[in-house]
Structure 1
Amino acid sequence: MYQNMQTIFIEEATDLLEELEEAFLELENDTKNMDIINRIFRAMHTIKGSGSMCGFTNLSKFTHEFETAFDRVRNGEIIVTKELIEIGLDSHSFIEKVIKSLDHINPTLREESKEILQMLHKYSPQKEEDIPQGINIDLSTPDEDVALDWAHYRIRFIPDKNVLTMAMNPLALIDCLMDLGEVRSVAYVNEIPDLDEIDETACYLSWEIIISTQQGKDDIIEIFEFIEDDCELKVDVINQESDFENDYKRLGDILIERGDLTEEQLAALFEEKPLAGELIKESGLVPQEKIDSALLEQEVVRSERDQKKQAVASDNIRVSSARLDMQMDLIGELVISLASLNQLALEQNDSKLNAISEELDSLVTNIRDNVLGIRMLPIGSTFSKFRRLVRDLSSEQGKKIEMLTFGADTELDKMVIDQLSDPLVHLIRNSLDHGIELPAVRQASGKDESGTITLTAKHAHGHVLIEIKDDGKGIDPEIIWNKALEKNFAKAGEKPSDREILQYIFEPGFSTADTVSNISGRGVGMDVVKRSIESLRGSILMESILGKGTTITLQLPLTLAIIEGLLVSVGSESLVIPLSMVVECVETKKSKLQSSKRGQLIRVRDTLIPCLPLQNWVGEQSTMPEDIQVIIVNIDDERYGLIINDVIGQQQIVIKSLGDIYKTIAGVSGATILGDGSVALILDLPQIVQLFEVAERI
């Protein structure tokens, strides 16, 4: 139970921390925006409350200190300053570390908390001696005598009439109870005499208190230990969290349990008419204030139960990614089995079997799309992380950089998003370090001193395009070409296009930086980016205008699990072409192909398109028949024709990873199992194009 609560808290707190960081960054540009200020306060308040409930007591105490300071901002007592935002971001980072760490003895974190809390002191109305001196980060399981579940306690507190003469304030004890949880109380005033009989040194009040807390009964009694000999104190558990499904006690039962009404008195009311709360009120047997107290107890417990029932009945549930991955694997196996059934239906030529096969095909497609939809997440959560990165690094380098994001609601498979974060970090750091100039340099070239990095996501042709664009100095192709020659990445001779030259940046060890910084310049990173994107079956394209800026475009598949593919035959091999890249299929004669220095061409509606004979790639040049089929595909906004022997048809393709032996085969991104049990390779078309271009040059 406890471990499950901690897991749920960590998941919820992670989401809240993302929102918190984004809110702080927005507040930096609009320090008087009350909506943002309230968002920050609510996030901190939720982390504090949930943390306390789930055993993160010290974390809750830390968050309380920041919440106190920010409450003063909400009330207009202090204004938002750059320093307060810095403290807020430091607090965010600290809370993130604490949540990820289960080390209950961590001097480093304890010292970090001390520094942050001391900085917060100037924003909090505390005396010098009250400054928190750091917290012990203890996320271990609490002792057995500490209540793990939230419970409701009833406290009857009747102080001695002489308690005030002993310099004891009963209200201060009730204030202490508020540190343990949520407190509601009713003061009994029936003992107060007439005005001319009042002794100003006497205490005539008593209290009935309902407290909702995670702490144990002993913690409540401890608050009253200095006054226990001078008061009547009774503490009872009235409801445990595990009891919330049962209906709570009726008003009469509560009053009998408290001793405010006897069973005989209650039974006498039965003789007149059925029992109801109104009867007790009308009877005059119990003072109105005690009835109000019992009604308060009913309200607190029933309200808590209603909230829990509503939470249980919530439409939204959290599911671990491991379960989703397992579900996707099962769907994949189902698709493969369905392909076998379709194959059998074709061979048997049985109309009933064909009908069943088609119906199952429709059902499996719907199940597949539904599971894929569950795995899809908006990319905005990934984008929001980079705003903090840009802010901190630009400040470190003395640059003024604003980051803009568009298309945050664009959805991608969770597996793709998880593997996309590191490549994006590399690209943004390079834009920040190499792209955006210092303010003085920008002003000298007629630009605004503040640079901009724009991160955009959008859907296009069954893919997701992510653009990283900066308005910096751009990249000079001449410098790249000369560096490529110097490092033997290229040989002097026919100079490629500017677009092709820029691709050298993604070669291992390639760097044009004169000095190495802590951000970039060692010649590592961009090649890792390219490999990472290609491992996602994506492609990367760089374009740059000198003096204007650079744009890097990533083209990524929506999912890595199941795709729609076009199954084709080339010689004796079956190959899969991703359907999202297919433009059209063309039938022609081999004799109609035109030759050029760069290879063979096909004319499609007055446009010459370069052709790539896949028979050459599979090593079966002799199998190209006179009647050929050409699959026109779109790769990086360029059209190519893939010459094949035959089109088998469109199929759902379950992507299987290749073994280590086959990973080195260029032009292959994966494999799939067909209905007859054979294996078909899935083509990596960008690599296929590169292979043919190199072959033609040779």
Structure 2
Amino acid sequence: MNISDPTETFRQEARELLDELEAGLLDLEQDPSNTDLVNSTFRALHTIKGSGAMFGFTAVAEFVHEFETAFDQVRKGQTQANAALIGVALDAKDHIHLLIETPDARISGGDVILANLRAIVNGETSAPQAPMAEPEPEPVSAKSAEPAPKAEKTIWRLDFYLPSDALIYGTNPVLLLEELAEIGPATITALTDRVPDLAVLDPETPHIGWRVDIDADDPTAAIDDVFLFLRNNMELSLVQLNATDLLAQEAETAEEPVAAELEDQPGPAAAPTTPQSPAPRAKSAAATDTAERTAASSLRVPAERLDELMDRVGELVIAQARLSQIAGLSSDTALKTIAEELERLSSGLRDTTMGIRMVPIGTLFSRFRRLIHDLSGELGKPIEFITTGEDTELDKTMIERLADPLVHLIRNSIDHGLESADKRAAAGKPAKGVVRLSAVYSGAEVAISITDDGAGLDAARIRAKAEENGLITPDTKLTDQELYHLIFAPGFSTAKEVTSLSGRGVGMDVVKRTIDGLRGTIDVTSRPGEGSTMTLRLPLTLAIIDGMLVRVGKGRYTIPLAAVEECVELPEGIEAHAKGRNFLDIRGALVPYLRLREVFGTKGESEPHQKVVIVSSGEGRVGLVVDQIIGNNQTVIKQLSKLHSGIKSFSGATILGDGSVALILDTAHLVAAGQGYVDRNLTGRAA
């Protein structure tokens, strides 16, 4: 039986709340007067504090409590959110993250952060907070059983009963009472009028109610904060008592023990509150049922289980393909019917499983807002960050592996692309630079673009640096696209000096290797003085794709169907070994083609009536000459071993219906090879 660790569950939920907190703070910096943002940020803090205390993270609860107290002045409108406050609040968020992830480590700096936070808040607040005043708590806190109230004393009486599912979902009544006691001097009494007989008592239902008499000016807002996530489903009443009411109540309380001794059984009269009518209880139960249904509508599942499920679905697809092949060779109608039904079911299961693995790319985009914020302050460049296409979905594995490449590209755009405010003003641009991050579907691919409105790539400087590093010779002729791609070479950098952000030439190399590993491509476009765009083109998933099965000699290969544009027949009379000048006229456009027999070293004579499969990658196209096109199939991708990882023509392998293995062609590499034929041919003609 797999029992989840409650501490790890808290950490997972805390990470989500911290992400929500960071997003709220960054939004608040742009819109300081937005009360909804302030309230959502405060709710995130309140939840982290309560959950942290419940799971034993006392350091987290104490730190967040101080954080919450300082931020409460913003929520009450006593101070305004500004850049300085947001900066310290983000530091506090990072400190909370460290306290949660490494609870046993000694983490310093929290006191300094809180001191800075209080200094910023108090520096903008003319009136001191109410808890700072000490005159009244002095007589109330004196060690006395029941201090006599003053004539002008004001007491607020709070009676509440928690929802029936409060204990099940982790609510701790003791922590709630402690928070209420922090509002002001309080007297707490348990209300036991609803405790049932032991035979029918449910230990997971909070039968006890609570009466809290609070000495405070107006605790309404503070009480709302305490019951922030319970108010809609609980019973709560708050009334103000004057001195006369308080004296009468104290007299009544003093007589209660005598009455209890005279009676055989304590009746409802012992409870000072008037019970609620059954109607509100029924309404509360209905609300609880709704909340339970809402909570059950989503389920947290470890990523490893999804990976395992995807592997099982892949094996099912392979088994189904084998069954379909056997059924196709058989005359048994019943077998063919079962094979068709299984194919339908496995196809639906495949689509559903892949849908579960798909994650909105907005979850990745939101991480970079903090990066932009910090880099803007570090480099002194005001930056506007714009994102579009957050709802575009991508395989979760792709999302995880894309984080580092996008960080490198964004840092590169800000450090190298965007000019300083002075230079932008001299060029007639707004002082604030713009970085855009977008995602769109492009067939069976997703195109992710990072665009800036900076100075653009300096082609002359790139070429000079490439010649200096020995990547090209002075007489090498390159297109702009090829020249721009030199920035992805290992060790390449045009930075004049090494800084904390750039200059060592390792970032873009990491980007290229990661995107290649994801079977993706990178397009680079740039206009001097207007900016640059880096576009990553990635397949939707790395698990199962639709493929076209072809034969070359006795070997069978799979071409990703998303890369296939069309299929044509190879015209007769074309010389079989016209190396370097292999072109086809496809509706007026010259398309280079590769004979896969030559590429793979296949022995034997070429077969008549060969076919050409036109594939594309980015803006390039190439024709692949094969002996036979067998048909389309669902391809379960298996990664090649480390021993074969250096073979660039293949991106993986798949198991066919008869149990044999077919290699999956790397269309991006083959298209690049075909473009090499074009370049050599044009160079030869120019010579």
Counterpart CA distance in 1 for 2:624 and 2:443 is 19
Contact persistence 1:590–1:625 (CA under 8 A): no
Q: Residue in 2 aligned with 1:120?
A: 117
Q: Residue in 2 aligned with 1:457?
A: 439
When residues 112 and 236 of structure 1 are mapped into structure 2, their CA distance, relative to the original with a 3 A threshold, is farther
TM-score (norm 2): 0.78
* Correspondence for 1:574 among 548, 552, 556: 556
CA RMSD, 1 decimal: 4.2
Q: State the 1:589 CA deviation.
A: 2.5
Give aligned pairs, total: 603
Counterpart CA distance in 2 for 1:377 and 1:129 is 48
Give runs of aligned pairs for residues 455-604 of structure 1, distance below 5 A. 455-591=437-573, 598-604=580-586
When residues 404 and 593 of structure 1 are mapped into structure 2, their CA distance, relative to the original with a 3 A threshold, is farther
Q: Residue in 1 aligned with 2:404?
A: 422
Matched residue SS, 2:569 = strand
Counterpart CA distance in 1 for 2:648 and 2:460 is 29
CA deviations over 1:151-200 (Å, ceiling 9, x no partner): xxxxxxxxx99722599x9999x99xxxxxx97389xxxxxxxxxxxxxx
Give runs of aligned pairs for residues 93-112 of structure 1, distance below 5 A. 93-103=94-104, 105-106=105-106, 109=107, 111-112=108-109
Counterpart CA distance in 1 for 2:149 and 2:262 is 39
Contact persistence 1:480–1:504 (CA under 8 A): yes
Q: Residue in 2 aligned with 1:341?
A: 323
Counterpart CA distance in 2 for 1:552 and 1:243 is 61
Contact persistence 1:592–1:602 (CA under 8 A): no
Q: Residue in 2 aligned with 1:18?
A: 19
Q: State the 1:457 CA deviation.
A: 0.5
Q: Which amino acid letter does the alignment assign opposite residue 516 of structure 2?
A: E
Matched residue SS, 1:627 = coil
When residues 185 and 691 of structure 1 are mapped into structure 2, their CA distance, relative to the original with a 3 A threshold, is closer
Q: State the 1:300 CA deviation.
A: 12
Matched residue SS, 1:362 = helix
CA deviations over 1:345-374 (Å, ceiling 9, x no partner): 122243332222121111101001101111
When residues 410 and 246 of structure 1 are mapped into structure 2, their CA distance, relative to the original with a 3 A threshold, is same
When residues 300 and 163 of structure 1 are mapped into structure 2, their CA distance, relative to the original with a 3 A threshold, is farther
Q: State the 1:92 CA deviation.
A: 1.5
Q: Residue in 1 aligned with 2:361?
A: 379
When residues 376 and 339 of structure 1 are mapped into structure 2, their CA distance, relative to the original with a 3 A threshold, is same
Contact persistence 2:192–2:207 (CA under 8 A): no
Moved more, 637-646 or 501-510: 637-646
Contact persistence 2:581–2:677 (CA under 8 A): no
Moved more, 78-87 or 479-488: 479-488
CA deviations over 1:552-580 (Å, ceiling 9, x no partner): 00001111111111111112221111111
Q: Residue in 2 aligned with 1:73?
A: 74
Give runs of aligned pairs for residues 232-271 of structure 1, distance below 5 A. 243=202
Contact persistence 1:624–1:645 (CA under 8 A): yes
Counterpart CA distance in 2 for 1:264 and 1:310 is 42
Q: Which amino acid letter does the alignment assign opposite residue 114 of structure 1?
A: D
Q: State the 1:600 CA deviation.
A: 1.0
* Correspondence for 2:658 among 676, 681, 685: 676
Counterpart CA distance in 1 for 2:473 and 2:272 is 95
Q: Residue in 1 aligned with 2:220?
A: none
Counterpart CA distance in 1 for 2:396 and 2:43 is 28
Counterpart CA distance in 1 for 2:153 and 2:192 is 16
Matched residue SS, 2:621 = strand
Contact persistence 1:469–1:550 (CA under 8 A): yes
Q: Residue in 2 aligned with 1:40?
A: 41
TM-score (norm 1): 0.77
Counterpart CA distance in 2 for 1:320 and 1:303 is 32
When residues 217 and 399 of structure 1 are mapped into structure 2, their CA distance, relative to the original with a 3 A threshold, is closer
Q: Which amino acid letter does the alignment assign opposite residue 538 of structure 2?
A: L
Q: Which amino acid letter does the alignment assign opposite residue 362 of structure 1?
A: R
When residues 525 and 665 of structure 1 are mapped into structure 2, their CA distance, relative to the original with a 3 A threshold, is same
When residues 213 and 295 of structure 1 are mapped into structure 2, their CA distance, relative to the original with a 3 A threshold, is farther
When residues 470 and 247 of structure 1 are mapped into structure 2, their CA distance, relative to the original with a 3 A threshold, is closer
Contact persistence 2:394–2:540 (CA under 8 A): yes
Moved more, 631-640 or 503-512: 631-640
Contact persistence 1:611–1:640 (CA under 8 A): yes
When residues 399 and 247 of structure 1 are mapped into structure 2, their CA distance, relative to the original with a 3 A threshold, is closer
5+ long unaligned stretches in structure 2: 123-127, 134-142, 163-169, 210-256, 682-687
Q: State the 1:390 CA deviation.
A: 1.4
Matched residue SS, 2:310 = helix
1:184 matched to 2:160: yes
Q: State the 1:94 CA deviation.
A: 1.4
Q: State the 1:687 CA deviation.
A: 1.2
* Correspondence for 2:615 among 633, 637, 640: 633
1:163 matched to 2:160: no
Counterpart CA distance in 2 for 1:246 and 1:26 is 40
Matched residue SS, 2:103 = coil
Moved more, 531-540 or 35-44: 35-44
Contact persistence 1:59–1:95 (CA under 8 A): yes
Matched residue SS, 2:408 = helix
Matched residue SS, 1:599 = coil
Q: State the 1:40 CA deviation.
A: 1.0
Counterpart CA distance in 1 for 2:77 and 2:62 is 24
Q: Which amino acid letter does the alignment assign opposite residue 396 of structure 1?
A: E
Counterpart CA distance in 2 for 1:620 and 1:217 is 76
Counterpart CA distance in 1 for 2:666 and 2:402 is 19
CA deviations over 1:67-115 (Å, ceiling 9, x no partner): 2233322222111122211121111111222222232x41xx2x32111
Q: Which amino acid letter does the alignment assign opposite residue 117 of structure 2?
A: L
Q: State the 1:488 CA deviation.
A: 1.4
Counterpart CA distance in 1 for 2:528 and 2:595 is 37
Q: State the 1:244 CA deviation.
A: 6.2
Counterpart CA distance in 1 for 2:290 and 2:173 is 16
Contact persistence 1:595–1:601 (CA under 8 A): no
When residues 347 and 78 of structure 1 are mapped into structure 2, their CA distance, relative to the original with a 3 A threshold, is same
When residues 237 and 534 of structure 1 are mapped into structure 2, their CA distance, relative to the original with a 3 A threshold, is farther
Contact persistence 2:194–2:208 (CA under 8 A): no
5+ long unaligned stretches in structure 1: 131-159, 176-181, 187-210, 251-257, 267-279
* Correspondence for 2:172 among 209, 213, 216: 213
Counterpart CA distance in 1 for 2:658 and 2:432 is 61
Q: State the 1:591 CA deviation.
A: 2.3
Q: Residue in 2 aligned with 1:153?
A: none
When residues 247 and 496 of structure 1 are mapped into structure 2, their CA distance, relative to the original with a 3 A threshold, is closer
When residues 549 and 183 of structure 1 are mapped into structure 2, their CA distance, relative to the original with a 3 A threshold, is farther
What percent of counterpart residues are identical?
Answer: 40
Counterpart CA distance in 2 for 1:6 and 1:630 is 58
Q: State the 1:65 CA deviation.
A: 2.0
Contact persistence 1:589–1:626 (CA under 8 A): no
* Correspondence for 1:396 among 378, 402, 405: 378
